[in-house]
Amino acid sequence: MRPVPTLVAASYQRSFNSGRTTPRVFVCEDFDGNNVGEFVVKMRGSIETHEAGLLREILGNLFAYEVGIATAEPAIVRIDPELAAALTNQTVADVVANSLGLNYGSANLAGGYSTWPVGKIVPQSLKADAADIFVFDALIQNPDRRTGKPNLLWKDDHLVVIDHEMAFSFLLSIIPSTTPWLLDEQPYLRDHVFFSELLHEQVDLERIAGAIEAIGDDFWEEADSVIPNNWKGSELARIRAHVESVQQHLDVFMNEIRRILL
């Protein structure tokens, strides 16, 4: 599993105006006071489901990395009372004051990354990555990477998935299913940002299938060790049961993907 450092938010930079959670950008430091750059922080006080939303964010990131899909470097970001007290923007100060303690952050990607444009045609060089992302979102039941809201960053031939607050949506009773390997109950997949571009395409799904199959005890043990205890509740165990049930029916799950994309 990739490292998940715990950092300290040192200074507020700006806010994103898009998205339901209005992420904030902070310069962060390690515990030795070294500047480690800008991180986009999902504030606990801005997420309707609070710690449960933070759990889905970090697990979405860790799962993506585990199955070979690019994500920004994750971090646990501590926000201290002194930072909230120093802010002059009252709106931001109120959110920060309601988010003291541990929050989820990811490295702010610079150097030419932009949001995947709505309606962009997927070039052949990105078809395999697009197919992997489609399968990944079906696995984690993520209805929020859709046509009008890609939740993807893009640069040249590099795609980066972001924003997993709505992942594992069975936890929110949005798309409950006792058979998550059967995808007829997942209608959001037909509104996935890549659905129309993958439809009737011959794409190789063997790599992503092998990566899903390989998720094992080591991953779950390491995830349990890096995720703050008060984020877990009973939901970490429920997510593990969900993923393992798909693994146990992986051939059926992958054939469902192929059927949807015929």
Position 20 scores a pLDDT of 67
Q: What is the mean pLDDT of the chain?
A: 93
- Provide the pairing of β-strand 24-29 with 35-42: antiparallel
Stretch among 41-45, 136-140, 142-146, 188-192 having the lowest mean pLDDT: 41-45
Q: Which residues pair with 74 in a beta bridge?
A: 106
What are the pLDDT digits (tens) for 74-104?
A: 999 999 999 989 998 898 999 999 999 999 9
- Do the beta carbons of residue 98 and residue 61 sit within 8 Å? no
**Do 105 and 40 meet the contact criterion of CB atoms below 8 Å apart?**
yes
- Work out the pLDDT band at 16, boundaries 50, 70, 90: confident
pLDDT for 47: 80
Amino acid in position 39:
F
Helices (H), the chain: 51-66, 81-86, 90-97, 127-139, 195-198, 206-213, 217-226, 229-232, 235-248, 250-260
The token duo for 176 is 């409950």
Give the per-residue pLDDT at 45.
Answer: 79
Q: What was the pLDDT predicted at 18?
A: 64
Q: Are strands 152-155 and 158-161 parallel, antiparallel or unpaired?
A: antiparallel
pLDDT band of residue 48 (cuts 50, 70, 90) is confident
Alpha-carbon gap, residue 84 to 11, rounded angstroms:
10
pLDDT tier, 178 (very low <50, low <70, confident <90, very high otherwise) = confident
Residue 128 or 175, more confident: 128
Question: Is pLDDT larger for residue 256 or for residue 21?
Answer: 256
pTM: 0.94
Q: Give residue-wise pLDDT tens across range 112-122.
A: 899 999 889 99
Query: What was the pLDDT predicted at 235?
Result: 92
Residue 193: strand, helix, or coil: coil
Predicted confidence (pLDDT) per residue in 145-172, tens digit: 998 899 999 998 899 999 999 999 988 8
> pLDDT digits over 199-222, tens only?
999 899 999 999 999 999 999 999
Write the CA distances from 257 to 50, 114, 137, 199, 252, integer angstroms: 32, 28, 11, 11, 9
As a whole number, mean pLDDT of residues 169-198 equals 88
Question: DSSP code of 10?
Answer: E
CB atoms within 10 A of CB 120: 13
What confidence score (pLDDT) does residue 148 get? 87
Share of the chain above pLDDT 70, in %: 98
Residue 262 scores a pLDDT above 70: yes
**pLDDT tens figures, 232-244:** 988 999 999 999 9
User: Which single residue is written with the structure tokens 């993506």?
Assistant: 64
**Which residue in the block uniquely carries the two structure tokens 């058979």?**
179
Residue by residue, DSSP assigns 32-49 as T--EEEEEEEE-GGGSTT
pLDDT of 37 > 80? The answer is yes
Residue whose structure tokens are 């697009």:
130
Q: Is the separation of the CB atoms in 171 and 164 below 8 Å?
A: no
pLDDT band at 176 (very low <50, low <70, confident <90, very high): low
